[in-house]
Structures are given as structure tokens and as C-alpha cells.
Structure 1
Amino acid sequence: MTAAPESAQKFDASRAGEYERQSRIALAGYEACHELAACMLAAALGPGREARVLVAGAGGGAREVVTAAALEPNWRFTAVDPSAPMLALARARLEESGLDARTEVVPGTVADLPEADDFDAATLIGVLHHLPGDEAKRAILRDIARRLRPGAPLILAGNHQAYASQPLLLAAWGERWRQQGAGPDEVEAKRAKILQGADPPHSEQAVADLLRDGGFEAPLRFFSSLFWGAWIARRAG
């Protein structure tokens, strides 16, 4: 779930080690979002068909691959991530799940892949809000679009809305950490970190605009959790 090389620097070995637990607290409905992402792709592709799926930002536990592969045995995956520690964790989870034979793991970014429309579908989950500025966000979406067949579906998921613009959601996010055992100082540290450490699109319309500029049709949202949203959109053309 990591992003471009500059953004990937914050996903060092210490963060990779805590990532799997932390991500499930930060995103209420973590497992459901991944399961629904696989369901939406299957609905768009057609049930039971073979497919090549590009997983951009697959570092961490490679949850996109592990979840979708268990539900769709005819899919194969190319998992890309620029963070070596996060990619190492992904490799470990793929090997534990017996999915390494169905998954090509590529260190680097989507731009490092051959530019050909070889993929039937793609996912970009938990990445976009880590990329600073709209141009970096457009760039990764364009890079993905160039490698998808026309009409192929993309699952895009991540935080949207400026965090400080939604104080009640931000407070609820902090309460979730408290309810999971974090003390007051830890909650405040995490709240400060999210306010300073990410640049989410500022609205759902901003997400749609980025997708349009990146080469995709209008998105359909299928999941929401506090600041988090998940959409499906097809490559234009």
C-alpha cells in the first residue's frame, strides 16, 4: 500500500513491522473493504474468468492479493511497491499463503513496468493520500491506465477530505485508537501524524477529477469508513 519513492521513505523497517496491526485499527472495516474490492472486480470482469491483476502499492501484508486470490483462483497478480521493507513483508505473507507462484513481485513503481495494456484489472489501495500534490496523484493513475486494457476496472481506495475540515470524523478516528488501547498521548501523536503526514484529495469530486485526468471514467463508490472511501472506475477508451 505504499507509493512513490519519496513517499515510500516513511515506510521503513520499523513501520513495516507494525503495519498490519496498525492498518486494521486505522481503517474500520479493513477486511470488508478488501473483500468487497475483490467482489467488485469479479462483477466487472465476469464470474470465474481468468485475469491478470496489477496491484500497485502492494507492500505490507499484500492483503489485496491474499484476499482476492482466495476468492478468485483464476486470477494472477503483479504486485509492485517501491519500499523494500514493506515489499519484504508482502513476500512473506504471499509465501505463507502459498500465493508466490501466482504473484510476480516487482520492486519499484508502476512506471517501471513495460508500457503495454496487458492487465485486465488493477488496484490502488491506501496509496493516493500518501502522494503529495495532485500531479503526483494524476501521474500514478496515468501510469496504471497505460497498462490496462481499454474498459478494464480499477479499484481505488484511500482517504479523502482534508482531515482538519472534518473535526468530528477526526475525533472519532482518535476514539477508535483509544478504544483499541491507545493512551491519551499516543492518540494525540497519531492525530498529529495524520494531519501532517498525508495529502488526501479534499472531496469525493476531487477523487473523480483525478481519475478523469488519469484516464478513467466516472467512479462508483462502494465502501466508506470515516475518511476512507473505495471506488471502482474503468479505463476510458
Structure 2
Amino acid sequence: MEHSPLNPAEKFDASRAGEYARQSRIALAGYDACHELAACVLAASLGNGVPARILVVGVGGTAQEIILLSALEPAWTFVGVDPSPSMLETATEHLKANGLLDRTQLLLGTVDDLPNDAAYDAATLIGVLHHVQGDDHKRSLLRSIQARLKPDAPLIVAANHYAYAEQPFLLKVWGERWRQQGATSDEVKAKLGKILQGADPPRSEEAVQGLLHDAGFGDCQRFFSSLFWGAWVTSKVA
């Protein structure tokens, strides 16, 4: 079955959702540090102790964004969207365990399913962009987020941003990362084969910036990097 360009939910089924917390921390060295810094970046952007409504796009899996943002800023509330039922269910379990369901509205769907008004003080898009096929669909997603943000609202974007096949050394390092965590040689080969399928990361940091400019955001500033991964903060152009 082919994956739909705007809805990569098909590959995030129950089995993948169940292993997501562990797998993501291996695949992305510094997973927790990236999320911790993202929380600090948003707090620095919006100000301490200021009530804010945060849109979390692709909340499924760990819901780590909400867990860390809520701990740093108790006055913030959240709306999380995810197109995968299994990933959203797993996120709900994590939020419930952390007592955060009363501060969070969860929606099974996409940003386009939200009201088209500028209702959010900030947004996060972490681990999503490289799963969206084609620049046109990436721009569409970013424009949908932009339309729902207040003027000058910050956006955190974190994703892989190299064409994997053009970075053979980084792929080799990434394979060693898996071996370091106990994967066998055959498992490493399978992981390397899997990363080359079903994802379409922007080809460079400049490509990420271009997509953001096209969608109505300003210049971005990178605050985290790990192999293929980068994390940036930008803001809606008023």
C-alpha cells in the first residue's frame, strides 16, 4: 500500500507506536536534549509565566513536547494533532501518566482539521517534516500551521534535513549508533535499508529555510543538531 503524501500515519501503526519511545531515542542521539532545549526556546520566546496556547503538530508517541513544556510553564495549555490512531493513543497514555490531560486537547487528524483562525501563541513541528513527501506538501503543512498562529508567534521545527543517500558517512555513523545500542549486523542493515525508504527530508538547512520563507515565516535559527537532525526556531511574519 502506498503512503499518502500528507498522511504518513499508515507507517505509524500499533507495533511502531509501541516501540517509538525507545527507537526514537536510539535513532536520534540527543532526543531528550532536543526536546528540553525546544521547551527552553519557546519559554525564552514567549516569556516566563505568561499564559499561552501551544499547537503541537505530530503529538503522537511520547508527547514529550507537552510533558517538558508544561513542566517549564504551568500556565500553558496545548492542542495536539496526529493522524495516527495508534500514536495518538500512546501519547494519551503518556499524558495521563503525567497528569496533563486536563491541560491538553487531542485531535485525531491534521492541522487542516482545526478551525482556520489565528488562535495559537506558538507551535511545534518535531519529527514530522521529513515524513511529508514532496516540497509542495511540506509547504502546505507549514502554511496550515502559519495560518493558525498569531502574528510573530514562534514555531519550533525539528527534522532530518539531508538526502540520506548523499551522506554515506553519516549513514555509516548512524549504523554504528544502532550497533552501540546492541543491534546485530543484520539488524543494522535492516535499519539502514528502512531509513532510505518512505521518508523525504529537505536536502539541506538552506532548503528548510526556503520552505519556511515560502510558508510565511521569517529567518530561522538552529539550536540543536545531531547527524541528519536539526532543530530551528522561526516566527510567523506579521
TM above 0.5, yes or no, is: yes
Residue 175 in structure 1 maps to residue 176 in structure 2: yes
Matched residues, number: 235
2:99 is matched with 98
Map 1:36-47 onto structure 2 (within 5 A): 36-47=37-48
Residue 151 in structure 1 maps to residue 152 in structure 2: yes
Quote how far apart the aligned CAs of 1:197 are: 2.1
Residue 221 in structure 1 maps to residue 204 in structure 2: no
Tell me the SS of whatever aligns to 1:15: helix
2:212 is matched with 211
* 8 A Cα contact 1:4 1:82, kept in partner: no
TM-score relative to the length of structure 2:
0.97
1:63 maps to amino acid: Q
Quote how far apart the aligned CAs of 1:6 are: 3.2
TM-score relative to the length of structure 1:
0.97
2:134 is matched with 133
Q: What's the CA shift string for 1:78-102, capped at 9, x where partnerless? A: 0000100000000000000000000
* 8 A Cα contact 1:52 1:75, kept in partner: yes
Q: What's the CA shift string for 1:159-183, capped at 9, x where partnerless? A: 0011111111111100000000000
Tell me the SS of whatever aligns to 2:11: coil
* 8 A Cα contact 2:6 2:137, kept in partner: no
Tell me the SS of whatever aligns to 1:196: coil
d(CA) in 2 for partners of 1:91, 1:207: 30
Q: What's the CA shift string for 1:180-223, capped at 9, x where partnerless? A: 00000110100011011210000000000000111100100000
Q: What's the CA shift string for 1:118-163, capped at 9, x where partnerless? A: 1000000000000110011001100000000010000000100111
d(CA) in 1 for partners of 2:216, 2:127: 20
d(CA) in 1 for partners of 2:108, 2:158: 21
d(CA) in 1 for partners of 2:97, 2:33: 21
Q: What's the CA shift string for 1:31-80, capped at 9, x where partnerless? A: 11001001001111112211100000000011111111111111100000
d(CA) in 1 for partners of 2:130, 2:97: 29
**Structure 1's 6 and 158: CA in aligned 2 closer, same or farther, altered over 3 A?**
same
Tell me the SS of whatever aligns to 2:7: helix
2:171 maps to amino acid: L
d(CA) in 2 for partners of 1:191, 1:68: 32
**Structure 1's 112 and 198: CA in aligned 2 closer, same or farther, altered over 3 A?**
same
Map 1:27-106 onto structure 2 (within 5 A): 27-106=28-107
d(CA) in 2 for partners of 1:119, 1:4: 25
2:95 maps to amino acid: L
1:190 is matched with 191
**Structure 1's 164 and 5: CA in aligned 2 closer, same or farther, altered over 3 A?**
closer
1:158 maps to amino acid: A
1:6 is matched with 7
Provide the identity percentage.
63
Quote how far apart the aligned CAs of 1:5 are: 5.6
1:184 maps to amino acid: S
> What is the RMSD computed on CA atoms of the aligned residues?
1.1
Moved over 2 A (4+): 3-6
1:144 maps to amino acid: I
Tell me the SS of whatever aligns to 2:230: strand
**Structure 1's 7 and 76: CA in aligned 2 closer, same or farther, altered over 3 A?**
same
